[in-house]
Structure 1
Amino acid sequence: MSSVLAVVSLLLLQTGVQGFLVLLSGSSMDHLEITREAILQTTAKVCKQLASVEGRDFTLPPGPLTVESLALACSSSGSAKSFQSAISDVSWRNARVDIRHTSDVEYHFDGETFVEGRKLITDGVSSVKASIKQENFEEARQKLGDILHTLQDFYSHSNWIELGNRFPHSNLIRSDVSDIGPVADKNTPTCRSCVGKDCQNNILEDIIRDKKLTSGYFSLEPFFSIKPKGKCSHGGLSDQTSRQEPTGGINKDSLESSHGNWHTAAAEVAVAATSQLLEDIRGAAGDTDFLRMMGISKNGSRVLCFVIDTTGSMSDDIAAVRETTSLIIDSKRGTPDEPSAYILVPFNDPDFGPLMRTTDPDVFKAQINALSADGGGDFPEMSLSGLQVALTGAPPSSEIFLFTDAPAKDLNLMGTVIALIERTKSVVSFFLTGSLGLRRRRASDQGQGQVQHSRMVESDSQLYMELSQASGGQAIQVTKTELPKATSIIVESSSSSLVTILQAVRSPGRADNFSFTVDESVRNLTAYVTGSSLSFTLTSPSGQSAIDFLFDFVEVSQGPHPAFAVLESRPQAGECHACNATLLVSVTGSESVSLTEVALVEASGSGRSVEPWNQSAAETSWLPWTESPDGEFVVRLRGENSATTRALPDSFQRQSSTRLRASTVMVTAEAERSVVFCLASG
């Protein structure tokens, strides 16, 4: 098992869905499994080819392909977490099609929409290739997930398999070929009525003989049929056309479907077709960029991102950043911890940006060296605007470092920046040197200037403190002469295998005790304690580790296409027995991990956990979850790792670095035909 997938849910999901199942169901294959298997197979081929070209060995352990074993074989063990994240990005976007396009038949090749469905795929493939060329890998993964759902549904919803085909229909992904073979026209009957097992042979003999393509019609409307006379239906409880002549259905979504005896063959061909499409994208993008889209880089997936104030008084700070940049690049070059990309975003007032991105460390050095500090104007600067540019342009889960000696002018962006931190799960740290900084005002029209002696008072720095706490980063106030020593934190945190064991924030004047478990896989354990008038004691300390986790809140659809997709709003706060939110947790870095607890823990320090999930390891588990903390909270995992030198399994704990917020707003509207829509907003 490549990872432990824990699903903590408010709703138990039904089986018998439309489209390849998006959720696990016995021995049936679902969209997620089909997508994951194809990505693993194709990535293995790419890495093997690269290893051959570079004269390296490529060895996979026996047994099924896993994220961890494949990342190791690709000489990129530090990419295991980002590889798993990339697979999740594609898979969740695939699942999202069943929620966002439930009744858009062309997204599922229903109703003989072969021309329209094929166009969605070919246009999407072009979009993926363009995004990769622009190094927008997140957008490429999202579009890839969209088109893979449609491509995979072709093999479940059409009669391609019943026609005797056991290979992909290559013309579905080729924009240079419009012919997809003979298709039954609108006036040609394709099915006879059937019930139950009789539906295994309900496609008319002349359709099979003449090798004509058809697919089932589908409608949610009980009193309005879109199915022409004599046509096949999709089938299933929610398909109203399956109750009209000819009755029954032809989908192969699961072993229990109308044509369930062809489910396995359809799923296997869907895997092959998905691999074929991935190979086509690989051919256009090249091996290196294909792997980067999949989160695999020779140097891991860590991105170094600097957001720098370039006003006049920042010359000393910029010099310290240059020194730190050179140290990181020179010490990490050629090691697994070398950043896979570098991002720079300058800001002052009124300007900010542009975002500069490069994979060449020497180019990044030149960009830092080219920064000049001048001007200043009034004291506050556009720091949040610069940070917003970085958060939207850097990959998810990036480490971002912002340097300034001034408060933020653009305070109106506070909510937007926090929302971006929560969505991207990026860690933002601030280096604040304003307490002793000098700020020179711009000369007036008469050419008169003055020196402004300014202090970044506590109220000014509080905003940066709150943002760092929300992201799991730090806000460090130092003098300009102390900055080079403080930036050593950047060097220490630029490891590709950095994990968070415990992070807590407490109000001044209150003593507290914190207990945490340090497992055998942890190396180079580092404790950061920041604040004023500190007094602390470390007792019995028993860092960096391969074991980490990914998490997402997802929304669940129980309509005609039961599925889940990443929640685009915050989960509902407090008790909510009808809320549509589910927590997905995937543990990476070990194939010998079992979870004993998944909990939402209030960040305020009360220690209250909401409905912890306690169970021995299982690939998928469900638990009704009807309450979330009212304030800020983190996700905490506890478990055991059996891959240890000890006689008994090694206990471990991990915590999300990002602090999350639940929504306190619930809007419910009733539309026509008594369809209820529920919206949670932060």
Structure 2
Amino acid sequence: MVTQLFLLSFMTQMSVHAFSVISLSSNTHQNITMAAILQKSAEVCSTVASQKGLKFVQPNPLTVVSLTAACLSPASAVSLMSAIVTISLNNAQVDLRHVFDPEYHFDNERFVQAHKLLKDGVSAVKTSLLQKNYHLARQLLGKTLHTLQDFYSHSNWIELGNRSPYQSLIQANLPIDNIADVNTPTCNSCVDNCTDNILQTILTQKKLTSGYFDLISSYKPFGKCSHGGRADRTSSVEPKGGINKDSLSSPHGSLHFVAADVAKAATRDLLQDIREAAGDREFLRLMGILQSSPALCFVIDTAVSMANVITEVTRVISFITDSRRGTMNEPSAYILVTFNDSEFGPLNKTTDPDVFKATVNALSTSGGGYGPEMSLSALWLALAAAPARSTIFLFTSAEAKDVELKSTVLALIETMKFQVNFILTSALSNTRKGLSNPVNQLYEDIALASGGEVIEVTKELLPNATIILSNSSNSVLVTIFQVARNPGIAENSFLVDSTVRNLTFYITANSTNFTIISPSGQSQTSQEANGPLGLILTVRNLYIVQLENSTQAGIWMLIIKSSQFYTLKVTGQSATNFLFDFVTVFQNPHPGYTVINSRPPADGNITLLLSMVGSDLEKPLVVALVEASDFTVHTGSLQDTGDGDYLVTVSTVPKREFYILVLGQTNSSSTSDNIPFQRQSSGLYRTSNITVTAVENGTLAPGALYTLPFTVEMRSTWQNYIITARNSLQYKMTFPSSLTAGGDGIAIGTVNLTAPSNATSGTEVILTIEAALPGGNDSNYVVLSLAVSRGVVPSASLVLSLWLSGAALFVSLLINNQI
């Protein structure tokens, strides 16, 4: 339980650095990418402002917060940071996922192949933008930028005296010239100082070469340069040493900053190429600027049981759409999915609010009755099409018919950090866990996992749900505190800082009495609908407490008298927030981290990449995993990696569902005062003893078979797993329904997927692969975002590496960070 003493003691703690992964003295792919995005976005914002007759003031320093303020879009700081994090993480993970593919790194003199990867990658980004698939475009952009940036560190372009980007790299019609052929020696041996190990003939003739790299074999052609570093086996044979400039400690580390600066300029050039193809507004949407709300998503039951409320539902949705128009909370897309007892879909997605309203207003009820509906199938369709961190609202009068989709829905919610709210228009009189209808327990489980609400309403009370819809999709909404108590615990204490406005409590319970106590000692009970602290609105099972605008800073307390299950969520509007991803840290071939698109492991450390968003003065002091039921705290250690990012390592793993808690301070720029703050993740997370691993290899070619190997592992040999796979576009797909692990504890399977021959390039396909123990005691998943493209083919070496005799060992080493 978070008490005043608990909060105050935590605020005095400082984190301990448990490990060193990324040096702040060297440039990384992440900070090169971030700097280039901020610089190019500032240039685009300046142009847009000039076209509107407005003055753009170049920020100094240039940060996420200062840029969005200068772009007259301060509320989009979170969405810009989210876009940068997505691009940067996809950039970084190329080092791990394509460790055996030299063309992804311009290694082994694979210039022609790497050049094709770049051209195909840029083309894929552009076609994804044409389809308005911004999240997919960000993922593809990150991967493409990695290859581009590696050229300047792994080749001898800088050693040849160049201090500007090689324009041929991103020009589809220009070749890469004067490459050293396989029979041409390029390097001398070196041991301590490798600065001058490239042969003078190579430098004089301006021939391009790059270092050879291999984790396993020491083979390379006679006389060739190695990449270098302790992970590179080729650097131990003549000519020894290496030529990479990845860090200051690299063989050519003296040129590290020069190579990084040119890579940054090349990144800006590639971004400019995308800008010219997409236009300024689409470029800013790609970067999350201007429209800060990801998407407005509605999933609506159109069975005849909704006949008496469908008109009011459409009215509420139209009202919300109009209230967002032209504001900072205008969404980047509008999504609508309908369902009844036998059908779901189609998916309607548009960026035009008038088109969306026309579609909504044309809804009518037909088919079905008062039995279970295909609600989860429709929800799955909306989740698969929505951008990350979107808020979804599902209206229904019936229980779910397709309950088997629960795990798939939870997989997407956890991975993409969606919030799902259920508005239930038909309730019974039984009592269970705060809901009047026990069959709605499934909806509560999903809402709780996502940080959403289950609201039971009548037709007359439906307009009151508008408050939930309005507040939940606000771009500057933050979660300050959240718990799920079972059995009920009376005292709930939390810290509210002075930046918070529109403080709101959401209490879900069948019936309860509560008292709110402010930091000044003022109090208000649940019987006071309009009291000294604010307004209390009751919508059947939900109490909404709206505090006065001038929120008091300090420790607030809410005392609930209830022996039953209840949930409490405290939100407000503030610029101070955080983003996070579960990641795996790796040391080879270069130190970095890759995002985990599954549940984190139950047996070992959990690592998070935490990104602070606010005034650029926020600093986390304590980051913890907090168990939802009793607020047991598992504190992590922090490492500052620069640019507002922190790696957090938690060594004691929760056994039950947990939230992410951040306690920190905002350093004042004008006084010595520091403002403490508390923030919490909206959604619930859980660990698993099962590991599911799959790596997307290339893209889906229309009409062609796409083969995706995957592995399932648990620290138990001869284990049986139930396998389920689904793709968002319902493309033809086959996969094993079960797998049995061998003596090494690893089972290997394959998903075969075929996109139709008329599939459009730039289309995004969300694929989930789930593995569960018989009986449902444990499960895990991997969520992949695949692109349809006519240009990029799967990486042959990746597929082969998973199918050769050493496949199980290879995957196990990757999973356990031993290579």
Q: Pick closer, same or farther for the CA change 1:163–1:267 going to 2, 3 Å.
A: same
Q: Compute the displacement of 1:228 (Å).
A: 1.0
Deviations 1:230-288 (CA, angstroms, capped at 9, x unpaired): 11111111212112111111111111111111111111000001110111011111111
Q: How does 1:37-48 map to 2 (within 5 A)?
A: 37-48=35-46
- The alignment status of 1:546 with 2:569, answered yes or no, reads no
- The alignment status of 1:268 with 2:261, answered yes or no, reads yes
Is residue 218–residue 236 contact of structure 2 (8 Å, CA) maintained in 1?
A: no
Deviations 1:354-374 (CA, angstroms, capped at 9, x unpaired): 221222222111111111111
- The alignment status of 1:96 with 2:232, answered yes or no, reads no
Is residue 596–residue 613 contact of structure 1 (8 Å, CA) maintained in 2?
A: no
Correspondence for 1:435: 427
Q: How does 1:229-240 map to 2 (within 5 A)?
A: 229-240=222-233
Is residue 299–residue 394 contact of structure 2 (8 Å, CA) maintained in 1?
A: yes
Is residue 98–residue 562 contact of structure 1 (8 Å, CA) maintained in 2?
A: no
Residue range with higher mean Cα deviation, 205-214 or 238-247: 238-247
Correspondence for 2:676: 651
- The alignment status of 1:610 with 2:657, answered yes or no, reads no
Higher strand share: 2
Q: Compute the displacement of 1:69 (Å).
A: 0.7
- The alignment status of 1:506 with 2:485, answered yes or no, reads yes
Q: Which of 229, 238, 248 lines up with 1:255 in the alignment?
A: 248
Deviations 1:68-102 (CA, angstroms, capped at 9, x unpaired): 11111111111100100100001000111011011
- The alignment status of 1:660 with 2:675, answered yes or no, reads no
Q: How does 1:607-646 map to 2 (within 5 A)?
A: 607-613=631-637, 624-643=649-668
Residue range with higher mean Cα deviation, 667-676 or 91-100: 667-676
- The alignment status of 1:556 with 2:585, answered yes or no, reads yes
Correspondence for 1:409: 401
Q: Which amino acid aligns with 1:548?
A: N
Q: Compute the displacement of 1:414 (Å).
A: 0.6
Q: Compute the displacement of 1:300 (Å).
A: 2.3
Q: Compute the displacement of 1:556 (Å).
A: 1.7
Deviations 1:352-407 (CA, angstroms, capped at 9, x unpaired): 11221222222111111111111114600000011111111111111110000000
Q: Which amino acid aligns with 2:114?
A: G
Residue range with higher mean Cα deviation, 665-674 or 489-498: 665-674
Residue range with higher mean Cα deviation, 581-590 or 616-625: 616-625
Q: Give secondary structure in 1 for the equivalent of 2:507.
A: coil
Q: How does 1:410-425 map to 2 (within 5 A)?
A: 410-425=402-417
Is residue 8–residue 583 contact of structure 1 (8 Å, CA) maintained in 2?
A: no
Correspondence for 1:206: 201
- Please give the alpha-carbon distance, in whole angstroms, between the structure 2 residues aligned to 1:289 and 1:47: 12
Q: Give secondary structure in 2 for the equivalent of 1:130.
A: helix
Q: Which amino acid aligns with 1:70?
A: L
Q: Compute the displacement of 1:106 (Å).
A: 0.9
Q: Give secondary structure in 1 for the equivalent of 2:505.
A: coil
Correspondence for 2:189: 193
- Please give the alpha-carbon distance, in whole angstroms, between the structure 2 residues aligned to 1:667 and 1:111: 36
Q: Compute the displacement of 1:646 (Å).
A: 8.3
- Please give the alpha-carbon distance, in whole angstroms, between the structure 1 residues aligned to 2:361 and 2:806: 62
- The alignment status of 1:526 with 2:533, answered yes or no, reads no
Task: Give structure 1 stretches of 5+ with no counterpart.
Answer: 1-6, 15-22, 438-455
Q: Which amino acid aligns with 1:196?
A: D
Q: Pick closer, same or farther for the CA change 1:457–1:518 going to 2, 3 Å.
A: closer
Q: Give secondary structure in 1 for the equivalent of 2:594.
A: strand
Q: Give secondary structure in 1 for the equivalent of 2:384.
A: helix
Q: Give secondary structure in 2 for the equivalent of 1:525.
A: strand
Q: Give secondary structure in 2 for the equivalent of 1:306.
A: strand
Q: How does 1:193-342 map to 2 (within 5 A)?
A: 193-197=189-193, 199-221=194-216, 224-297=217-290, 299-342=291-334
Is residue 8–residue 622 contact of structure 1 (8 Å, CA) maintained in 2?
A: no
- Please give the alpha-carbon distance, in whole angstroms, between the structure 2 residues aligned to 1:407 and 1:554: 36
- Please give the alpha-carbon distance, in whole angstroms, between the structure 2 residues aligned to 1:305 and 1:48: 32
Correspondence for 1:453: none
Is residue 601–residue 633 contact of structure 1 (8 Å, CA) maintained in 2?
A: yes
Q: Which of 58, 73, 78 lines up with 1:76 in the alignment?
A: 73
- Please give the alpha-carbon distance, in whole angstroms, between the structure 2 residues aligned to 1:624 and 1:325: 42
- Please give the alpha-carbon distance, in whole angstroms, between the structure 2 residues aligned to 1:644 and 1:355: 48
Correspondence for 1:17: none
Q: Which amino acid aligns with 1:522?
A: V
Q: Compute the displacement of 1:617 (Å).
A: 11
Q: Pick closer, same or farther for the CA change 1:428–1:62 going to 2, 3 Å.
A: same
Deviations 1:594-647 (CA, angstroms, capped at 9, x unpaired): 22210000011x221113448999856666532211110000011112348987
Correspondence for 1:515: 493
Correspondence for 2:613: 588
Is residue 608–residue 649 contact of structure 2 (8 Å, CA) maintained in 1?
A: no
Is residue 596–residue 615 contact of structure 1 (8 Å, CA) maintained in 2?
A: no
Is residue 305–residue 370 contact of structure 2 (8 Å, CA) maintained in 1?
A: no
- Please give the alpha-carbon distance, in whole angstroms, between the structure 1 residues aligned to 2:447 and 2:185: 64
Correspondence for 2:461: 482
Is residue 594–residue 617 contact of structure 1 (8 Å, CA) maintained in 2?
A: no
Q: Give secondary structure in 2 for the equivalent of 1:135.
A: coil
Correspondence for 1:677: 813
Is residue 109–residue 117 contact of structure 1 (8 Å, CA) maintained in 2?
A: yes
- The alignment status of 1:600 with 2:625, answered yes or no, reads yes
- Please give the alpha-carbon distance, in whole angstroms, between the structure 2 residues aligned to 1:58 and 1:656: 35
Q: Give secondary structure in 1 for the equivalent of 2:137.
A: helix
Q: Pick closer, same or farther for the CA change 1:116–1:13 going to 2, 3 Å.
A: farther
- The alignment status of 1:58 with 2:56, answered yes or no, reads yes
Task: Give structure 2 stretches of 5+ with no counterpart.
Answer: 1-13, 430-434, 520-551, 553-571, 691-712, 716-743, 746-804
Q: Compute the displacement of 1:479 (Å).
A: 1.6
Correspondence for 2:515: 537
Correspondence for 1:106: 103
- Please give the alpha-carbon distance, in whole angstroms, between the structure 1 residues aligned to 2:398 and 2:454: 13
Correspondence for 1:34: 32
- The alignment status of 1:182 with 2:178, answered yes or no, reads yes
Aligned-pair identity in percent equals 52
- Please give the alpha-carbon distance, in whole angstroms, between the structure 2 residues aligned to 1:401 and 1:130: 30
Is residue 306–residue 396 contact of structure 2 (8 Å, CA) maintained in 1?
A: yes
- Please give the alpha-carbon distance, in whole angstroms, between the structure 2 residues aligned to 1:656 and 1:38: 29
Is residue 18–residue 639 contact of structure 2 (8 Å, CA) maintained in 1?
A: no
Q: Which amino acid aligns with 1:550?
A: L
Q: CA RMSD in A?
A: 2.4
Q: Compute the displacement of 1:112 (Å).
A: 0.6
Is residue 13–residue 558 contact of structure 1 (8 Å, CA) maintained in 2?
A: no
Q: Which amino acid aligns with 2:192?
A: G
Residue range with higher mean Cα deviation, 202-211 or 488-497: 488-497
Residue range with higher mean Cα deviation, 480-489 or 229-238: 480-489
Q: Which amino acid aligns with 2:139?
A: Q
- Please give the alpha-carbon distance, in whole angstroms, between the structure 2 residues aligned to 1:640 and 1:661: 28
Q: Compute the displacement of 1:329 (Å).
A: 3.1
Q: Compute the displacement of 1:147 (Å).
A: 1.0
Is residue 432–residue 478 contact of structure 1 (8 Å, CA) maintained in 2?
A: yes
Q: Compute the displacement of 1:558 (Å).
A: 2.7
**Highest RCO, 1 vs 2 (Cα 8 Å, sep ≥ 6):** 1
Correspondence for 2:796: none
Residue range with higher mean Cα deviation, 491-500 or 127-136: 491-500
Q: Compute the displacement of 1:338 (Å).
A: 2.8
Q: Which of 371, 374, 379 lines up with 2:366 in the alignment?
A: 374
Q: Which amino acid aligns with 1:47?
A: C
- The alignment status of 1:147 with 2:144, answered yes or no, reads yes
Aligned residues between the structures: 635
Q: Which amino acid aligns with 2:259?
A: A
Is residue 497–residue 544 contact of structure 1 (8 Å, CA) maintained in 2?
A: yes
- The alignment status of 1:391 with 2:383, answered yes or no, reads yes
